[in-house]
Amino acid sequence: MIGAKPCNTPCSFGSKLSGFEGSPLIDPAEYRSIVGGLQYCTLTWPDISFSINQLCQFMHSPTDKHWAAAKRVLRYLKATIDHGIHYSKSSLQLNAYCDSDWAGSPNDRRSTSGFAVFLGSSLISWSTKKQHVVARSSTEAEYRSLAIATT
């Protein structure tokens, strides 16, 4: 990927990965290794958390579509190599933001929640994860996201 063309986003807008599209990889070991390594990158690149969460859901049987999505994340990291989290002296006000996509997974219709917590202007905690149950409405998905963020 050294000569790969950088891209501006970790995933294409509105992309939903599915376990039913694409042909299975002959040797999924390289995919698992790359995605496993990318999980560590989420510690300093919180903007790839959602993309990595999607890729991790297909570790058991990745397809060529998943491999292409993983390579896109690598191209994004190449474009944003000098980006990072910067901490500066600011107020001690705690702010949290959360969101969810209702029934966003095409495989099991579960929602994905994400949150970011700021102390002043500094990001101190973030997460993206699939909800444990299927929400019956977008309101229920948002309430579950809020509960995850507050805990």
Domains of the chain, residue spans? 29-79, 94-150
15 compared with 94, residue with greater pLDDT: 94
- The pTM assigned to this predicted structure is 0.69
Distances (CA, A) of 89 to 22, 43, 45, 82: 48, 21, 21, 21
- Provide the pLDDT for residue 97: 96
> What are the pLDDT digits (tens) for 106-148?
888 999 999 999 999 888 898 888 899 999 999 999 999 999 9
Q: Which of 14-18, 96-100, 145-149 comes out lowest in average pLDDT?
A: 14-18
* The three-state (H, E, C) secondary structure of the chain, written as one string: CCCCCCCCCCCCCCCCCCCCCCCECCCCHHHHHHHHHHHHHCCCCHHHHHHHHHHHCCCCCCEHHHHHHHHHHHHHHHHCCCCCCCCCCCCCCEEEEEEEECCCCCCCCCCEEEEEEEECCEEEEEEEEECCCCCCCHHHHHHHHHHHHHC
47, pLDDT greater than 80: yes
71, pLDDT greater than 90: yes
